[in-house]
C-alpha cells in the first residue's frame, strides 16, 4: 500500500511538471540552414514595442508554393507581387513578397512542380497587425531576384 501511495504521488507530480512547463526563450539561427515555414512563422513574431533579433535578417526557408496548381491564383499572386510558402504538414504559410524582378521570379516558379519543395533565401521583414487595441508583429519574407528561389538546397 505504501508503494502504491508513492506511485500515485509520483504520477501527479509528473503530470503537474509536464503541464506547467513553458516553452521558454528559444533561439533560431535564420541563415544557417533552411527552416520550415512552421518554425520561422512561429519564431518571427513579437510585440510592436520591441525590436526582435530576427527583424531584417537574412532567412532561409523551405516549403511548398501554396496554390501552385491554380493558374488564376498564381496570376493574382503575380499581380500582387507575392506568393505564399506553405508547410504541408501543419498547414501554416508565410507570405513571400517580391521587391525586385517579378517576371524572372514567376518564370522560375512556373517551372516548379506543384509537389516540389522549394528553397527561398530572403529577408525577414517585420509587418504589424492590429487586433483591437493590441499591436503584434509578424514577418514576410522579402526577395528581389530569381536566384533567391531554388529547387535544391544551396
Give, for 87, the enclosing helix (H) or strand (E).
Answer: none
Which range, of 1-9, 51-59, 126-134, 136-144, touches another protein by CB under 8 A?
Answer: 1-9
Question: Up-side HSE of residue 49: CA atoms within 13 Å toward CB?
Answer: 1
Longest dimension (CA), the chain: 75
* Strand-strand pairing, 118-131 and 57-65: antiparallel
# residues near another protein by CB under 8 A: 27
Q: Which residue, chain included where needed, has cell 525586385?
A: 100
The contact mask relative to another protein for 7-26 (x = CB under 8 A, - = no) is xx--xx-xx--xx---xx-x
Q: Minimum distance between the CB of residue 67 and another protein, rounded to whole angstroms?
A: 11
Residues of this chain that interact with another protein (CB under 8 A) are: 1, 4, 7-8, 11-12, 14-15, 18-19, 23-24, 26, 28, 35-36, 38-39, 42-43, 64, 88-92, 115
Amino acid at each position: 500500500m505504501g508503494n502504491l501511495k508513492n506511485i500515485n504521488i509520483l504520477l501527479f507530480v509528473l503530470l503537474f511538471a509536464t503541464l506547467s512547463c513553458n516553452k521558454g526563450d528559444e533561439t533560431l539561427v535564420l541563415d544557417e540552414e533552411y527552416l520550415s515555414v512552421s518554425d520561422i512563422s512561429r519564431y518571427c513574431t513579437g510585440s510592436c514595442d520591441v525590436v526582435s533579433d530576427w527583424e531584417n535578417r537574412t532567412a532561409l526557408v523551405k516549403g511548398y508554393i501554396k496554390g501552385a496548381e491554380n493558374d488564376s491564383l498564381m496570376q493574382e499572386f503575380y499581380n500582387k507581387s507575392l506568393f505564399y510558402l506553405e508547410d504541408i504538414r501543419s498547414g501554416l504559410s508565410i507570405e513571400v513578397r517580391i521587391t525586385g524582378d517579378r517576371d524572372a521570379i514567376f518564370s522560375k516558379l512556373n517551372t516548379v512542380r506543384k509537389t516540389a519543395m522549394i528553397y527561398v533565401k530572403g529577408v525577414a521583414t517585420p509587418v504589424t497587425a492590429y487586433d483591437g487595441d493590441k499591436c503584434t508583429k509578424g514577418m514576410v519574407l522579402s526577395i528581389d531576384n530569381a536566384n533567391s528561389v531554388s529547387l535544391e538546397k544551396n
